[in-house]
Structure 1
Amino acid sequence: MKVASAFSLGNRSSPFQDAAPSEETAVIIRNYLRCLTCDQVHMLRIAIGDAKRQPHHFACRNCGEELEVVLTLGTGSSSEGAFSCSENAEFCDEDAKALTVNLDPNFVIPKDQANSPLSFPRLEQMRTIVKAMEARGASLDQMARASRERGPTFPTEWTHLRKAIGLETRGKSKLSRREIETSGELFYEGERLDSLDDWLIRFLRRLVGPDNSEIFEKISKEVERIVAAKDASGLMEHYFADLRATRRDAYFAILTDFFRNYSEFSQVLYRVRLGARAPEDAAAGSTNFESVKTFYGDAFETFAGLVELFTMLNNLDAGREYDQGERLTLKKYRELDNASKFNPFAGNAAFTDLCVEIDNQIRNASHHRGIKLSADRHTVLYRAGKGGTGEEQSMTYVTYLDRCTGIFMQIVVLLCVEIMMNYRQGQALFGGESTS
């Protein structure tokens, strides 16, 4: 893995690459859908997004029955594609009495525009994203160049990357290496990918955006400082013998879960990556809550387990053995409830900067069946407290997607740090060395 290429901000690793769907994707396809439960016809105004397969879940504007429509893009112009829908609906001819439904796979929609036949909510939000990029030092020329050079999108590349990781995991290293070599041509303009780790960190650095890339740099330097200044041999022996495989599986599982539900998270992804606020009273066009209602809780559990690495490094930095905290041994630390696992390294700003989105109450609610979507599909209702039995609280579904994406990004940054740590030790987290 080349440090210069994999960890630089130039070329395809630019944090502004894939910053938002480009102007050529600002196409709206119109189609008509009849709800078979109540015969209400809907005029669907669907914006083209960044994934080939774009599912949308929404409520019938008359009876409230959940409907699904899937747009699968073709290989020609951006307006080509095939539609399918759920069994409780059918496509139909134009109807003057149709109710409007606006759907956008990459942007949220102001609630008062959700049913407007003249709404173009993407345009204003793209201006917001441009301003956020300008605030981070990107010129209009850089943005235009990134738009022209976007190439394959996140879900497209992840499909290939997941395949290569799965092949390597199943012992099919030769097939995995073939996928790595091919993907250098597909996604990186023919540049050689050294390994799965090299490919993965390039992909993830683009995914997390500029702010999280800065946090990654900060944490990586801190980890490198501690390992260089202290005797980390015991920690590394424990890590490579007992932890690496389990941690790798945890990372892969949450990545797979995120991209399995990409059509929901992509509605907020491009904005969240740049820290841009959602429009006031924003709504999500697609509300497939059943598929993502435990995502935050699962991500919290995953992240709380993975930050053990910070605790062990913090122990070393304090002059102790990696498995001896100020008050607890590593064994006792592992017995703590997940909400308390962030406390031992609370004095290290580099580590705590990554631990912003950590709400154990949402985790409790989702894991104890105490979370649901309101009847109008705009609000997530959940019961906080131990066992999900506390007072009912609420947040918009857009906020829930924002927070899910935020905690996922924290896990991704930690994964990048861990890949880098393995590299500095002459090891690979995922393996898959290139043949060339």
Structure 2
Amino acid sequence: MLRAGVGIESYQHHYVDCSACGTPIVLAVRANPPHAHFVVEENFALGTHEDDEATLINLHPNFAFDPEDFHNRMGFASLKYVQRIATVVEDLVQPGQKFVDTAFLFDVPNISQVWGHVRRGLNLESGTNNEKALSRTIEGYLAERQRFRPDTEATDVASMHTGFLRAAFFPRIEQIADPALVLLEKAAADYPAEFAAFETYYNTEFADEQRHRFISAFSDYFKHHSQFSQMLIHARLGDEDPGAKVVGSKAFEEIKLYYGHVYEALTTSFVILACLNNILLGRSYDQFQSMTLNKYVKDVEKAKRANPFANEPVFFAFSQGLDSSLRNGSHHASIWRDGDVVYFRSGGSGAERNMPFSNYLHLCNVLTISLASIWLLDRRLVDG
């Protein structure tokens, strides 16, 4: 028997293992909060009565369950997070507002559709003679966002793009990106010639490829957002270890390669942090302590890309959640799930390791927020 909490998305997909035979069950919750109903998709039928003896599986699109509550008919995952969410959004309440749904302040409703507007704007931005299409895209974005957040503003692709990332991953993205942006501006102010040289290099050699890399990773993420959102609150609130959690929806086959995907995108983007660190240390942007930028880009393995800025806590914060063994398993498809546990091998032949599926989701979210944060730095370098 299934019991689902109602999130803020209008259509909420769930992938459940049958408790009796393990057959994958696919269903959805169509919601117009506070009203909702189940929609049958695969290997599932709606019953006409409640079986008090049946095993209950709890589902929620935005929260995970403590193990003891996963089958509890009175388990409410959201109750454990209400106060934490209320605390972080209290500064977002507009003057004069008497009644506020904190969910609409903390989350971005219909986020996959909203990302579609942002992605379209990013793609149009790189073309020419797209002014009318860009204007319609921004208008569509604002129409969707202002339904729930009337204070949303966007006048161009840059403000739409950065505003979306900050809303989707608030407050953690601010804690990672903003101190790094301060150091970026310090490098620009204290070493203007070297910073200008780096800007030229980055926009000539990296920016276009990076744009495609960013868009690809986030398109993958938002396509499967209903999976990642079950654990996203922990990454957004900066929980290093979310503890033992169980999620009800498990579409692992759809996302088993994602960690490797976002790991590659993030560690490749570390060139921004590495070059800024060189400048701040009084060196040329392309001169490291014991190697050149060319060697860093071409020869240094991804697992060691953060080493050059390991002594700068602001930059090193971007490396939280990196696990090279998990990356190898995910990147090379040597990864599988059995129940609530994910198993993987490094490179396909290394020692077998495992972690809870909920932790896999958490690490994917941690890296995604770091990638969103470094995209804000990229935006500053591209826009000047």
Instruction: Tell me the TM-score range normalised by the shorter chain.
Output: 0.7 to 0.9
With structure 1 as the length reference, what TM-score do the two structures score? 0.77
Tell me whether 408-417 or 317-326 shows the greater mean CA deviation. 317-326
Contact 2:27/2:38, CA 8 A, preserved across alignment: no
Identify the residue that residue 68 of structure 2 maps to in structure 1: 112
The residue type paired with residue 332 of structure 2 is H
Contact 1:208–1:273 (CA<8 Å) still a contact in 2?
Answer: yes
CA distance in 2, matches of 1:170, 1:420: 19
1:165 corresponds to which of 117, 122, 136 = 122
Please identify which structure carries the higher helix content: 2
In structure 2, what is the Cα distance between the partners aligned to 1:240 and 1:141? 38
Q: What TM-score does the superposition give when structure 2 sets the normalisation length?
A: 0.87
Q: Alpha carbons of 1:333 and 1:372: their partners in 2 closer, same or farther (altered >3 Å)?
A: same
Q: 1:170 to 1:48 in 2, by over 3 A?
A: farther
- Matched-pair identity in %: 25
8 Å CA contact 2:89, 2:102 repeated in 1: no
Aligned residue number for residue 58 of structure 1: 16
Distance 1:53 1:360, change over 3 A: same
Matched, 1:155 2:112: yes
CA, structure 1 residues 416+139, in 2 after alignment: closer, same or farther (shift >3 Å)?
A: closer
Report SS of the residue matched to 1:112. helix
5+ long unaligned stretches in structure 2: none
Contact 2:31 2:37 in 1 (8 A): yes
Aligned counterpart, 1:327 = 290
SS at match of 2:353: strand
Structure 1 stretch 136-145 or stretch 214-223: which is displaced more? 136-145
1:249 matched to which residue of 2? 212
320-329 vs 298-307, which moves further = 320-329
Specify whether residues 210 and 80 from structure 1 end up closer, same or farther in structure 2 by C-alpha distance, changes over 3 A only: closer
Q: Write the distance in 2 (CA, Å) between the matches of 1:234 and 1:140.
A: 39
Gaps of 5+ in 1: 1-42, 426-436
**Equivalent residues of 1:378, 1:397 under 8 A apart:** yes
Contact kept in structure 2, 1:185 and 1:191, CA below 8 Å: no
Q: 1:46-85 to 2 correspondence within 5 Å?
A: 46-74=4-32, 77-81=33-37, 83-85=39-41
In structure 2, what residue type is equivalent to 1:175? Answer: A
Alignment pair present for 1:205 and 2:166: yes
Could you say if the C-alpha distance between residues 327 and 82 of structure 1 is closer, same or farther in structure 2, counting changes exceeding 3 Å?
Answer: same
Given the superposition, is the C-alpha separation of residues 233 and 187 from structure 1 closer, same or farther in structure 2, using an over 3 Å criterion? same
Q: CA deviation at 1:259?
A: 0.5
2:270 is the alignment partner of 1:307? yes
Residues 210-250 of structure 1, C-alpha deviations (whole Å, 9 max, x = no match): 24303222100101111221122221211222211111111
1: distance between equivalents of 2:187 and 2:57?
54
Letter matched to residue 274 of structure 2: T
Q: Which residue of 2 aligns with 1:355?
A: 319
Is the contact between residue 296 and residue 363 of structure 1 (CA under 8 Å) also seen in structure 2?
A: yes
Paired residues for 1:15-34 under 5 Å? none
Deviation at 1:390, TM superposition (A): 2.2
Cα distance between partner residues in 1 of 2:196 and 2:281: 16
Match of 1:313, SS state, is helix
Change (3 A) 1:192 1:382: closer
Within the candidate set 46, 51, 67, 1:91 is matched to: 46
Deviates further, 280-289 or 183-192? 183-192
Q: 1:166, CA displacement in angstroms?
A: 3.8
CA contact (8 A) 1:269 1:405 kept: yes
Which of 124, 137, 157 is residue 196 of structure 1 equivalent to? 157
Candidates 118, 133, 142, aligned match of 1:175:
133
Q: How far has the Cα of 1:276 moved from its partner? A: 4.6
Give the whole-Å Cα distance in 2 for the aligned partners of 1:270 and 1:279.
10
In the alignment, the residues of structure 2 paired with residue 183 and residue 120 of structure 1 have an alpha-carbon distance, to the nearest angstrom, of: 33
Letter in 1 for 2:292: T
Aligned alpha-carbon RMSD (Å) = 2.7
**2:184 is matched with which residue: 223, 227, 234?**
223
Say if 2:372 is the partner of 1:416.
no
Work out whether residues 345 and 353 of structure 2, in 8 Å CA contact, stay in contact via their aligned partners in 1.
yes
**For residues 46 and 314 of structure 2, what CA distance do their matches in structure 1 show?**
53
Is it true that 1:123 corresponds to 2:86 in the alignment? no
